[in-house]
């Protein structure tokens, strides 16, 4: 009877207040545990021990009330499946109605997404911060309008990409020029577009050069009309090579040659000026040498008035002849003569002109009137011999006379020589 009364007396406050206090007379909650020694240096243990079980025991529990709290002291038993799927380490777990969950589930950038609440600085203290990803991609993304990656240094800001031992560097030094370089085993650097879009180079925010998707290059134009289109001036300080192909060099020509068009779709070529169509290839002048006589009815070659012409292979040339001839019997007087000067090509006459001398008492009155004639001949490639002949129709006549017996002509031995000039034109 006394025992029952005592137990009732002890439990009465619990029934009235439904609150239990440990080391506190007035509990503030259903269970209020207060440290026996809240301060001081005593070595006595104050705390609350939660039931300790291993993973297998936690996994074996059934009909577990939600919010049940346990401490898993071993994961050597059981498996990380079913209600124990989250039990992967020693620690506190609570039952969330479906499975055991960590009381303090760690949240980090490796297991969970999150939002950065403010600016953060990672100081590596001379150590390297490295991101290693077996899936090949390390992505820095943004949902903003701009995605900007900053690499800042007091003297240099740089990015370095390494593939094996090939290295690509992008850097800028303080108060210096920005650069992109390759090193290591890299065999070159390409600037490329995957689609047909052009590549543009700008300075001062203005387009200076464009490479179109078709491979045409425009300088100061975004619509080049040829493989290279310069919309402005061009300065060349060294040789110009033309011709050749994609793998062989063209020709720089030789000193004195000029560049001539090959027409649409053909490369220009270097030409020597005297070989260009419409220009004079050469000018030839020959004159008689020694005196010769032609009796009536005979034909003689005029000594010295002979020339051989060679037209280069694959070309044609036009020759313009001017011939000045004299025929006389000077100094014998009073005898008239008639005849013909002829232009001969390889033994065939191609042109001629009539000449006469009227005898008028001899001396200076007996001098002939010169005859001049022209001839144009177009030739294909080959070698040709031209000469001048005189045919005496009537009377005796002389060519290449030197009037030395007259004092007034002693110093003019060329005045009565037969002369021939040839202008050679390129076709």
pLDDT at residue 141, rounded to an integer: 64
- For 293-298, what is the mean pLDDT? 95
Which of 64-68, 144-148, 330-334, 337-341 comes out lowest in average pLDDT? 330-334
Distance in Å from the first CA to the final CA of the chain: 149
Which of 42-56, 150-164, 374-388 comes out lowest in average pLDDT? 150-164
User: Is the pLDDT at 340 greater than 80, yes or no?
Assistant: yes
Question: Can you read off the two tokens belonging to residue 94?
Answer: 């609570």
Q: How many helices (H) and strands (E) does the chain have?
A: 2, 23
Which of the pair, 306 or 404, is modelled with greater confidence? 306
pLDDT at residue 379, rounded to an integer: 97
User: Is the pLDDT at 405 greater than 70, yes or no?
Assistant: no
pLDDT at residue 116, rounded to an integer: 76
Which of 155-164, 270-279, 292-301, 416-425 comes out lowest in average pLDDT? 270-279
- Cβ partners under 8 Å of residue 86, min gap 6: 80, 93, 99, 100, 101, 102
Q: Is 59 helix (H, G, I), strand (E, B) or coil?
A: helix
Strand order in the sheet with 156-163: 156-163, 166-173, 179-184
Task: Delineate the domains of the chain, giving CATH numbers in brackets.
Answer: 1-34 (no CATH), 49-106 (no CATH), 199-230 (no CATH), 280-426 (2.60.120.760)
User: Is the pLDDT at 380 greater than 90, yes or no?
Assistant: yes
Task: State whether the Cα torsion 57-60-63-66 is positive or negative.
Answer: positive
Percent of the chain topping pLDDT 90: 54
Banded pLDDT at 247 (limits 50, 70, 90) = very high
- For 239-246, what is the mean pLDDT? 91
pLDDT at residue 328, rounded to an integer: 84
Which of 95-104, 126-135, 193-202 comes out lowest in average pLDDT? 126-135
Using one digit for the tens of pLDDT, what is the confidence trace for 112-149? 777 778 888 888 888 887 777 777 776 766 677 777 77
Using one digit for the tens of pLDDT, what is the confidence trace for 36-77? 888 889 988 888 899 999 999 999 999 999 999 999 999 999
The alpha-carbon radius of gyration of the chain (Å, integer) is 58
Using one digit for the tens of pLDDT, what is the confidence trace for 302-318? 999 999 999 999 889 99
The four Cα atoms 226, 228, 231, 233 give a dihedral, to 10 degrees, of: -140
Q: Is 285 helix (H, G, I), strand (E, B) or coil?
A: strand
User: Is the pLDDT at 349 greater than 80, yes or no?
Assistant: yes
**How many Cα atoms occupy the beta-carbon half-sphere of 119 within 13 Å?**
1
Q: How far apart are CA 324 and CA 419, in angstroms?
A: 5
């Amino acid at each position: 009877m006394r025992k029952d009364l005592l137990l009732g007396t002890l439990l009465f406050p619990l029934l009235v207040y439904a609150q239990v206090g440990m080391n506190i007379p007035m509990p503030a909650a259903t269970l209020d545990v207060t440290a026996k020694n809240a301060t001081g240096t005593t070595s006595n243990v104050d705390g609350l021990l939660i039931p300790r079980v291993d993973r297998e025991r936690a996994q074996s529990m059934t009909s577990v009330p939600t919010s049940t709290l346990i401490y898993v002291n071993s994961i050597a038993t059981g498996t990380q499946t079913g209600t124990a799927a989250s039990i992967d380490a020693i620690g506190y777990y609570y039952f969330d109605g479906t499975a055991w969950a960590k009381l303090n589930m760690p949240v980090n950038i490796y297991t969970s997404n999150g939002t950065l609440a403010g600016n953060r600085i990672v100081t590596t203290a001379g150590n390297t911060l490295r991101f290693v990803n077996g899936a090949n991609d390390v992505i820095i993304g943004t949902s903003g309008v701009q995605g900007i990656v900053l690499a800042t240094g007091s003297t240099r800001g740089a990015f370095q990409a390494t593939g094996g031992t090939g290295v690509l560097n992008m850097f800028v030094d303080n108060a210096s020029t920005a650069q992109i370089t390759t090193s290591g085993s890299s065999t070159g650097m390409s600037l490329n577009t995957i689609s047909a879009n052009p590549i543009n180079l700008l300075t001062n925010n203005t387009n200076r050069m464009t490479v179109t998707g078709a491979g045409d290059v425009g300088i100061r134009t975004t619509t080049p009309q040829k493989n290279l289109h310069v919309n402005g001036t061009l300065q060349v300080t060294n040789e110009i090579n033309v011709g050749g192909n994609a793998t062989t060099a063209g020709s720089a020509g030789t000193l004195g040659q000029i560049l001539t068009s090959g027409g649409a779709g053909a490369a220009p070529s270097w030409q020597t000026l005297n070989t260009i169509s419409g220009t004079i290839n050469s000018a030839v002048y020959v004159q008689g040498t020694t005196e010769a006589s032609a009796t009536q009815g005979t034909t003689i070659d005029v000594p010295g008035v002979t020339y051989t012409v060679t037209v280069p292979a694959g070309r044609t040339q036009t020759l313009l002849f001017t011939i000045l001839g004299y025929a006389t019997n000077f100094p014998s007087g009073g005898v008239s003569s008639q005849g013909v000067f002829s232009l001969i090509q390889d033994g065939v006459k191609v042109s001629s002109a009539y000449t006469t001398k009227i005898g008028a008492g001899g001396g200076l009155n007996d001098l002939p009137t010169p005859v001049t004639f022209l001839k144009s001949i177009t030739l294909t490639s080959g070698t040709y011999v031209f000469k001048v002949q005189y045919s005496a129709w009537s009377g005796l006549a002389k060519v290449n006379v030197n009037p030395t017996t007259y004092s007034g002509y002693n110093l003019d031995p060329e005045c009565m020589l037969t002369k021939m000039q040839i202008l050679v034109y390129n076709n």
